[in-house]
Amino acid sequence: MRLGYALPQIGALASGEALVEAAQHAEGLGFDSVWTLDRLLWPLEPQAKYNASADGSLPEAFKTALDPLESLTFVAAHTERVALGTSVLNIPFYNPALLARRLTTLDVLSKGRLRLGMGMGWSTDEFGTVGAPAKRGPAADEFLQVLKAIWTQDPVSFVGEYYNVPKSIVYPKPVQQPHPPIYLAAYSPPAMRRVAQYADGWNPVGIPAAGMQEMLSGIRQMAEAAGRDPKAIQLIVRANVHFVDGPADDQRRPFMGSPEQITSDVDACREIDADEIQFDAQFSPGIGGLANFKARMEQLRELAG
């Protein structure tokens, strides 16, 4: 099982120096990948609650956010081996042709290290700011088709309801063929069907191992029904780590609790044959300066085995 780690791209630590030092430390510790996330706004009066917090409030760290792709491109120039992943880019924020060019550039400059995690987002304020389409689900289906067309067709053309690409030459193509791996966050049936049809992996967060196993089985059944190899759908687990003093109670979220409880969550992922865990400990208590960030990285690398 591969192991990844989220970079200090948000919050008080976010800087070029911290990105490079953390990525190089992850590479030195033997992590397989480093990851960034996608945040645009910290609205003062949010229209939608943040589901990952108990009271629905946004983390203070979200007030500062470096761009996920520029951060990875910067890191690519200072590392040699680690894969460079997004978990996740919010599809409604982007135009697929422009994003395809940025992603291809990152894959070319990093010599084939891009891992593309995408999702639908949740912030009504952010959707309104970027002019996201009202029918975000159908638009996302076309979005993924456009990405794949640009990456795999020569010449490329696409005619859809939301996006059109006239017959054109688009170069360069990604180093990874037929295209960089695409991972999708998905929880609803339509989103899980999108994974089955278009993705190379499923990128869940906050779901116990037994639930992930059951949901992945459903995704793979839909993939088989769509004529795809169900075993080709990987399980890329996002682990939002939250250490607490002493064991957490039985109602704890996955990867929340004592080091022993978090180790048990890692073991549970291995038991269901997860392909990768990507740790994000940026919101865990005790993450102050960069030294503490690196110490937490070392701790998680050790407990993951």
The per-residue pLDDT for 192 is 98
Instruction: Give pLDDT tens digits for 54-77.
Output: 788 998 999 999 999 999 999 999
Instruction: Give pLDDT tens digits for 217-254.
Output: 999 999 999 999 999 999 999 999 999 888 888 789 99
Q: How far is residue 184's CA from residue 223's CA, in Å, rounded to a whole number?
A: 14
Instruction: Give pLDDT tens digits for 254-284.
Output: 999 999 999 999 999 999 999 999 999 988 8
The per-residue pLDDT for 119 is 98
State the average pLDDT over residues 195-199: 98
Instruction: Give the confidence band of 160 by pLDDT, cuts at 50, 70, 90.
Output: very high
pTM: 0.96
The per-residue pLDDT for 249 is 83
Q: State the residue range of the domain holding 266.
A: 2-304
Among 17-26, 145-154, 206-215, 244-253, the minimum mean pLDDT is found in 244-253
What the block records as the tokens of 292 is 């503490």
- Mean of all residue pLDDT scores within the chain: 96
Instruction: Give pLDDT tens digits for 162-177.
Output: 999 999 999 999 999 9
Residue 27 has pLDDT above 80, yes or no: yes
Number of domains forming the structure of the chain: 1
The per-residue pLDDT for 250 is 76
Q: In this structure, what are the phi and psi dihedrals at residue 190, rounded to the nearest 5 degrees? A: -60, -40
Q: How far is residue 23's CA from residue 75's CA, in Å, rounded to a whole number?
A: 7
Q: Which percentage of the chain shows pLDDT scores above 70? A: 100
Task: Kindly report the CATH number assigned to the domain that includes residue 290.
Answer: 3.20.20.30
State the average pLDDT over residues 130-157: 97
Q: In this structure, what are the phi and psi dihedrals at residue 204, rounded to the nearest 5 degrees? A: -85, 165
Q: In this structure, what are the phi and psi dihedrals at residue 6, rounded to the nearest 5 degrees? A: -80, 135
Q: How far is residue 105's CA from residue 173's CA, in Å, rounded to a whole number?
A: 9
